[in-house]
Amino acid sequence: MTTTTAFASLEPADLHGRVAELQQIREQALAGPGRKATEAQHARGKLTARERIDLLLDTGSFQEVEPLRRHRAGGFGMEAKRPYTDGVVTGWGTVEGRTVFVYAHDFRIFGGALGEAHAQKIHKIMDMAIAAGCPLVSLNDGAGARIQEGVTALAGYGGIFRRNTQASGVIPQISVILGPCAGGAAYSPALTDFVFMVRDTSQMFITGPDVVKAVTGEEITHNGLGGADVHAQTSGVAHFVYDDEETCLAEVRYLLSLLPSNNRQPPPRTACTDPAARRSPALLDVVPADGNRPYDMSRVIEEIVDDGELMEVHEHWARNIICALARLDGHVVGIVANQPQTLAGVLDIEASEKAARFVQFCDAFSIPILTLLDVPGFLPGVDQEHGGIIRHGAKLLYAYCNASVPRISLVVRKAYGGAYIVMDSQSIGADLTYAWPANEIAVMGADGAANVIFRRQIAQSEDPEATRAELVKEYKSELMHPYYAAERGLVDDVIDPAATREVLIRSLSMLRTKHAALPSRKHGNPPQ
């Protein structure tokens, strides 16, 4: 560990000598604690803080802030261990030419643990990011609070959490977990917009395996408790998960290319070579006319968006709904879509939470929202009701109703019951609603509706099954034909699926200047 520097002289000297002395100090700060510490970091399968920053930012663009900062703590031998940077590298640079602020824990110094000086450096770079109106990326690889510094370390975390909250909805905040992130430290990523993790080397938990065993008797590994796949598939804490740091940081760069710098700027537009009027006849075969047959909604999205490219958020959690960022004619859009391939695309507790937060993010950063519906309703069951499906489903309803960005919904196949209303129906404020010719919009499916409405007639029939089939057919022809909602103004148009891309691009172009005045209030009180 680097110790206190012994300066050659404090006597006046020519500037050449001072510059040479400065260069030595800078080289010491850049080198960190030494070759052995770096080799140990690499042996864990992890890059150093500076190597990670180099991958994240454009080459040569990083400007470091407070590289010579050192702690002032005393006791427990801390006086003899005062390395430069104090275990965190902070500064700014560019990603594809746009300014981005970053801080990266240096696990080689105090295990990346947070102390007073360490926290103050992070506070400063967060304040700078907010003031400049630029995204903030944190590269997390730390052992939590620095025990030797006591309560001042805890206060440092409080300052980070407060700034995370102040920055929420103002600048994009991205947390990249590249090592341990335990205890109170885990709450900062939870407050940010997106969390990236790397398999095998990333872990997040409030209490570690040792504490869990001591309190509950349960034995579990670090990865089993809070590894990347656990948070990507089970808890929903991680939005993205990758096999290595290089791929992970490349994907962070890609995500940043889709986001505006702040809530006062529009999302970046790129040149588009995919024709706006491109037809997609393949869509006529992707979606089965039979409402009970599954298909992959991702294929529908790929056919519609520019070059078939999308970045799916929370891909491995609540897979019955898709949330993704993509482009239409070079403009960024947020896409929410039911996934019939999983649980028939029903809405449940996790799907509602996943979509609600994504809608809120898009609305905060002026990203138009496209909603693709093929939903049979909410998932029935005791577990769902006791788990609060009413409360959690209301989160999605609130998010849509509160969103003022351009909103377009498209009924791909079926949309039943309360789930139809919640998934950005015209009645809750969708600007435009389209439907494909095979759409079915109704309170419930025809079979269920017939069983309710014609229960006695079916029971008294000499051939109940034949009677039921006839009445189901009658119900469909009268109340569930594709043009029923359009005739009543609940759908703006029924469109050819092959022309979907062109219709959506034209509609979004018109809505780009949309302005919605909201009631004056401090803030709403969304369901929790």
The residues assigned a catalytic role are: 183-184, 418-419
Which residue's structure tokens are 């506070």? 123
Burial 238-277 (b: 16+ CB within 10 A, else e): bbbbbeebeebbebbbebbbbbbbbeeeebbeeeeeeeee
What single-letter amino acid sits at 320?
N
Q: Pairing mode, if any, of strands 331-338 and 321-328?
A: antiparallel
DSSP annotation of 513 reads T
Give the 3-state DSSP-derived string for 300-350, with helices as H, strands as E and coil as C.
HHHHHCHHHCEEEECCCCCCCEEEEEEEECCEEEEEEEECCCCHHHCECHH
Pick left, alpha or beta for residue 38 (phi over 0 → left; psi -120 to 50 → alpha; otherwise beta).
alpha
Integer Cα distance of 159 and 164 in angstroms:
9
Q: What is the widest separation between alpha-carbon atoms in the chain?
A: 111
DSSP annotation of 145 reads B
Integer Cα distance of 365 and 266 in angstroms:
8
Q: For residue 412, which of 280, 276, 258, 278 has the smallest C-alpha distance?
A: 280
The structure tokens listed for 270 are 């790129």
DSSP-based three-state secondary structure for 63:
strand
Q: Could you tell me which residues come within 8 angstroms of residue 228 by beta carbon, excluding any fewer than 6 positions away?
A: 177, 197, 198, 199, 200, 202, 238, 241
Integer Cα distance of 222 and 208 in angstroms:
7
Integer Cα distance of 407 and 373 in angstroms:
13
Q: For residue 320, which of 353, 282, 289, 288 has the smallest C-alpha distance?
A: 353
The structure tokens listed for 292 are 């009970």
